[in-house]
Amino acid sequence: MSKKNNMEQVAQTKANELEAALASVIESAVKLVLSGIERNQDVWFTIEDLCEYLPDKPKKTTIYQWIHYGKIPYHKKGKRIRFLKSEIDEWLKGNL
């Protein structure tokens, strides 16, 4: 076997090992994220996230109106408005 072919085989083996390692890391990360969600760790939503999460998919302007009139639970730090998933879930159930 030539030196070039040997180097190509080594490079391919290393690439395969790297690909397998990366797949393992991704799988572990996904499991970690999913386990956090399953344990009911709270999630912060942006307004865009909230629009996607709510069943009727309201527009951002509707959510801003709800905020203005105090109809929805929210948190504001500086200029950022965020929503806790647990509070939104309670609000959807009518308990807030």
Between CA 25 and CA 23 the distance in angstroms is: 5
Residue 62's pLDDT is 97
Residues 35 and 6 in one domain: yes
Between CA 58 and CA 54 the distance in angstroms is: 7
Residues 56 and 81 in one domain: yes
Which of these ranges, 11-20, 49-58, 60-69, has the smallest mean pLDDT?
11-20
Residues 31 and 51 in one domain: no
List the domain range (segments joined by +) for residue 83: 44-93
Residue 84 · residue 42 · CB < 8 Å: yes
Supply the DSSP symbol for 44.
E
- Quote the pTM value: 0.57
**Across 1-23, average pLDDT:** 83
Residues 67 and 81 in one domain: yes
Between CA 20 and CA 25 the distance in angstroms is: 9
The count of structural domains within the chain is 2
Between CA 45 and CA 74 the distance in angstroms is: 10
